[in-house]
A and B are shown apart, each in its own frame.
Chain A
Amino acid sequence: MRWRGWLRSWRIPVSLGAFAVSALAVAAFVPPGGPRAYAQELRSLPDTTSEPSDGKAEFYWSRLRYTSSGYGRSGYGYGGGYGGGSGGYRGYGFGFGYFGWSRDYPKADRQMLLALKRLTRIQMRPTEQVVDLDSDDIFNYPWVYAVQVANWSFTDAEAKRLREYLLKGGFLMVDDFHGTADWDRFMVGMRQVLPNRPIEDLSDNDEIFHVLFDLGVRFQVPGEQYVWTGRTYEKDGYVPKWRAIRDDKGRIIVAICHNMHLGDAWEWADTPEYPEPFASLAFRVGMNYIVYGMTH
């Protein structure tokens, strides 16, 4: 019988070994309770709007899903929106995402959207949108947020697509990377996308800090680790860097939040131990960056 031969072949031990490694990986990285519990968590996330979570809107909180160097494109994904004009769930992915694109996802996104709805006139979908660089669907979402960008990596095609996205009018906000080493790794990917554009430190008077809230005075926004370490910095990122890349007309196309973790501040804003001033500034910065991206 053919299957007996197959059983006797070398494929059995290899397959069993791979399964074991995968199971260990899932057990190690999936949050307690596994995927089912994660789905439960999604349902319990704040969604106080009356609009359907898969409805169409003017603004979508778009989170960039990229390939992390050394980790692959793992993590949970929850999306819908356009894609040829049809909505609906894009599907879940398995994985952990702790070091990848899905850091703080999706609670940070939802909390940010709540603030956006309450404090601005932007008509948005109450749930986030995951966008990839392997299809042109990203061009339907002119504002995109990326985290843990020290670990991002692009194929040439992905870098080209992101470059075109930015030069056509798209806006990228990057967050949650700390210190010199992270910066260097971030720049490897950024130079792949925009090889020659200078990166500048934003002045307090820059329009992006005044387009909605006046944020001339800012401070370092730490991640949740501040609650148990008391430190506002991570690694050697002692000073927050508010940086940007501009297009030929001087409009910011990439807003860089280095040595800070705004996403964590959004995510943990409802935690009593996390100081309110950090969360408040993080929300305001996020909203300013969105409004700037929608006006410039």
Chain B
Amino acid sequence: MFELLFKYPPAAFAQGRLVLLGSWPAWALAASIAAAAAVLALAMALRLRAAPASLAVRRAAVLWLLESALAAVVLILLWQPALAVSQLRPRQNIVAVLVDDSRSMSLRDGGARREDRAIDALRSGLLPGLERRFETRLYRFDTRVRRASLADLGPAEGAATHIGESLQELATETSDLPLGAVVLLSDGSDTAGGVDRAAIDALRRRRIPVHTVGFGALAPGNDVEVEDVTVAARALAGSRVSAEVKLRQSGYDGQRAQLTVRDAGRVLAAREIAFGSGGGMQVEPIMFDVGPAGAKSLVFSVAPLAAETNRANNALTRLIDVEAQPRRILYFEGEPRWEYKFIRRAADDDPMLQLASVLRVSENKIYRQGIKDPTELAEGFPTRPEELNAYQGLIIGSVDAGYFTPAQQALIRDFVDRRGGGLLLLGGRASLADGIWSGSLVADALPVVLPDSRHTFHREPATVSLTAAGEQSVITRLVDDPAANAERWRKLPYLMDYEDPGTPKPGAVVLAQMHYRGRTMPLLITQHYGRGRVAVLATGGTWRWQMSLPLGDPTHHEFWQQLLTWLVADTRGQVAASVPKSTLFDAGRVRLGAEVRDARYSPAADVTVTARVIGPGSAPRSIDLEPVRDAPGRFEADWTMQAPGEYVAEVEAHRGAVSLGRDVVPFQRLDGVAENFHTEQDQDLLERLAASTGGHYWRPDQMRDLARSIPYSQAGLTTHELAPLWNMPAAFLLIVLLKAGEWLLRRHWGLV
């Protein structure tokens, strides 16, 4: 219809430039139109005086407008408008037709497979139309592009879709050929994360338009997809780990499914989840015991549901490095008290936690437990950073701030800020506000603004409850189900005492609260500070849980083990290795990084950093990491995983012959997995690709229109043509409509 009215396809108008072929200049056209409008207005004004009353000013204005428009159209046609367009020279240009050959094209969207529909579209309209005027080259592509014939297409088995790389490869391959246009038939399900700028630029430099044809349903059918999994990259052996699984479902509103975490086929955790209404995204937490040490590839999956169209996107894999090295925590306590004893007993039951404690038994005696040798902590609290940095966590009990020298207070602050350690302050009669910690150098690191007053510690029974954040926290988890966990906490025996911790700072998280005679106060508050983390537990009376609950009840010990594990699990050593993403899909290039610190945890210079990479089926290889400019202590190197599988990099730093430490980071390459995800048509990507290259997005039923649009291109070998517009039917139709409209209005108003 468009072409019938306007003589040329939309692509000609999109690509062409409007020109006037008349000998008079364009300004003369504008002046003529203005003059004609003025003359018509004058004439209308003169006639208005003698006109019947039915011709009101408003009606006269409408008639003047129609007459002026008619005059303008006629004048424009007299100036001979035309389109200046570039057209591909017939038989001299190449048109590349790329057909997506990846596995997602084999999906059926309620009928034929996507690839079959693409082949049908090629056969029935597109290819015959193109072949009449151009040399047409057919390609198939997944991660790379390959020449093909129509008979070669199918079945679609490519393990991934890299549209950008394929287009770039095509541009390179045809760099010396007159490539006039690209037609890309795909579902847009790109597994490389989108078309990168380099591919777009390569096409734009040669002005090659990419016309995209989208296949596949725009919304998934009956499907559940595990979109993403957020889980810590590291954990302590035997510890409890929390993960968040982002799910997307369509067609299963209100139904239930089983969410499972597996390690090498062994179920670590499973829980039933309920899908919300209206489809869409939801995030489900799940906790599990991570088990013994080692690099683990955990599979998070949702059990397939009835009539699910795509079951290959129900699982995602995440790597986690489970560390075997126990963490050491220094516990400094100012007086013998029951909390000390029961914290020690809880830590004793966790092989990954080593509690070295210093207890002020009398004014002249400190009692040490959990020390490695008689010299450890012999002088009490450390006075040098190297001593304190030997621990990953620090607990300060009922000790007033004044007991520590300013230098020791600075040590504590730097232990969190610079070393990245975990600090826990307990309530007590010499703790927090009663210990005048608000005036200490540690005050900035605390997650609370302490009360101004003293006498905040009371030996009165306080009950406890969880906040919304606490219901799902791995620290306060006693039962996996959040609602049941909250109920469990509400039923815990009362605390033996409480201390008002003050007001939580912005950014701090309150996980648990305590209640005494109608007053509610934060009980457990956490926050990150610098590279580390700080928590305040505003009581010294959780020991009563252990004594009051039935024999064998694990509540007290589990809570403390989880709190202490959180305190130290993310405390890194002097060498901290990392990769931006531990799992790469269908790609092998990874950037290995390492933060290297000296014994005081200042960025280390003058060190050599080496990574030893162990991968599947190949001998270990060593690479040197180079210092990064403007990032002291940061070292990086690129590494390419040639084959899919799991890799481990052991990174070690040396200063001369002295080792500063080593760290291990696992990563993996998974091929053919991402293709199973986001399988609905990515129309947005296809439209953006077409728009950014001067092409157009088409539906499969618009193949004939596509074939007619192809010639209008500025790439390849072109001819510049002037396509006259004065004789297009739309112009004459407009003239008729304007005149007929005026006549009908006059008749309607009784003027004729």
Contacts and interface: CB of A to CB of B under 8 A. Distances in A.
B232 to A, nearest CB: 30
Contacts of B548: 136, 139-140
A167 interface: yes
A121 B334 contact: yes
Contacts of A15: none
Contacts of B361: 120-121, 211-212, 291
Interface string A68-98: 0000000000000010110000000000000
Contact of A169 (B336, B363, B429, B547): B547
A58 B337 contact: yes
A58 B338 contact: yes
A123 B362 contact: no
B167 to A, nearest CB: 67
B705 interface: no
A169 B345 contact: yes
A85 B336 CA distance: 22
A170 interface: yes
Contact of B335 (A82, A85, A123, A136): A123
B459 interface: yes
Contacts, number: 87
How many chain B residues sit at the interface, stated as a range, is 20 to 34
Q: Which residue among B334, B361, B365, B459 has the maximum number of chain A CB atoms within 10 Å of its CB?
A: B361
A142 interface: yes
A167 B551 contact: yes
Interface in A279-296: 290-291, 293-296
B341 interface: yes
Contact of A168 (B336, B362, B494, B547): B547
Nearest to A87: B459
B367 interface: yes
A294 B336 contact: yes
B367 A291 contact: yes
B547 A170 contact: yes
Contacts of A294: 336-338, 340-341
A121 B335 contact: yes
Given A56-B459, A85-B494, A295 B344 contact: yes
Interface in B228-260: none
Contact of A121 (B336, B540, B543): B336
A194 B363 CA distance: 37
A212 B335 contact: no
A25 interface: no
A252 to B, nearest CB: 12
B546 interface: yes
Q: Which residue among B336, B337, B360, B367 has the maximum number of chain A CB atoms within 10 Å of its CB?
A: B336
Contacts of A270: none
A184 interface: no
Interface string B543-574: 11011101100000000000000000000000
Contacts of A123: 335, 337, 429
B369 interface: yes
A57 interface: yes
B459 A169 contact: no
B348 A295 contact: no
Nearest to A288: B361
A142 B359 contact: no
Contact of A295 (B340, B365, B460, B544): B340
Interface string B319-361: 0000000000000001111101110110010000000000111
A58 B335 contact: yes
Contacts of B341: 142, 169, 293-296
A164 interface: yes
B461 A122 contact: no
B547 A120 contact: no
Contact of B547 (A122, A140, A249): A140
Interface string B414-457: 00000000000000010000000000000000000000000000
A162 to B, nearest CB: 12
B43 to A, nearest CB: 102
A56 B550 CA distance: 25
A129 B369 CA distance: 29
A234 to B, nearest CB: 33
How many chain A residues sit at the interface, stated as a range, is 20 to 34
B546 A168 contact: yes
B427 to A, nearest CB: 12
Interface in A101-118: none
Say whether chain A's binding surface is mostly helix, strand, loop, or mixed.
Answer: loop
B350 to A, nearest CB: 13
Contacts of A140: 496, 544, 547-548
A294 to B, nearest CB: 4
Nearest to A210: B367
Interface in B667-705: none
B369 A142 contact: no
A169 B461 contact: no
A289 to B, nearest CB: 12
Nearest to B460: A85
A142 B459 contact: no
A199 interface: no
Q: Which residue among B335, B342, B360 has the maximum number of chain A CB atoms within 10 Å of its CB?
A: B335
Contact of B336 (A84, A120, A136): A120
B553 to A, nearest CB: 9
Contacts of A58: 335-338, 459, 540
Contacts of B546: 168-169
A71 to B, nearest CB: 29
Nearest to B493: A139
A165 B547 CA distance: 7
A139 B546 CA distance: 9
B369 A168 contact: no
B556 to A, nearest CB: 9
Interface in B361-410: 361-363, 365, 367, 369
Contacts of A293: 341
Contacts of A84: 461
A58 B360 CA distance: 15
Q: Which residue among A165, A168, A211, A296 has the maximum number of chain B CB atoms within 10 Å of its CB?
A: A168
Given A58-B335, A211-B367, A294-B338, A120 B362 contact: yes
B543 to A, nearest CB: 7
A248 to B, nearest CB: 10
A295 B336 contact: yes
A119 interface: yes
A57 B360 CA distance: 18
Contacts of B338: 58, 142, 294
B336 A249 contact: no
Given A212-B365, A295-B341, A142 B547 contact: yes
A57 B362 CA distance: 17
A142 B543 contact: yes
Nearest to A165: B547
Contacts of B429: 123
B342 A212 contact: no
Contacts of A211: 361, 367
A56 B461 CA distance: 11
B348 A212 contact: no
Contacts of B342: 169
Interface string B516-557: 000000000000000000000000100110111011000000
B344 to A, nearest CB: 7
A254 B49 CA distance: 122
A142 B334 CA distance: 20
B33 to A, nearest CB: 94
14 contacts: A57-B459, A58-B459, A84-B461, A120-B336, A120-B362, A139-B544, A140-B544, A142-B341, A211-B367, A249-B345, A294-B336, A294-B337, A295-B369, A296-B341
Interface of B: 334-338, 340-342, 344-345, 348, 359-363, 365, 367, 369, 429, 459-461, 494, 496, 540, 543-544, 546-548, 550-551
Given A169-B547, A212-B365, 7 more contacts: A85-B461, A140-B548, A169-B345, A211-B361, A293-B341, A295-B340, A295-B341
Leading 3 A-B pairs by shortest Cβ distance: A85-B461, A56-B459, A139-B547
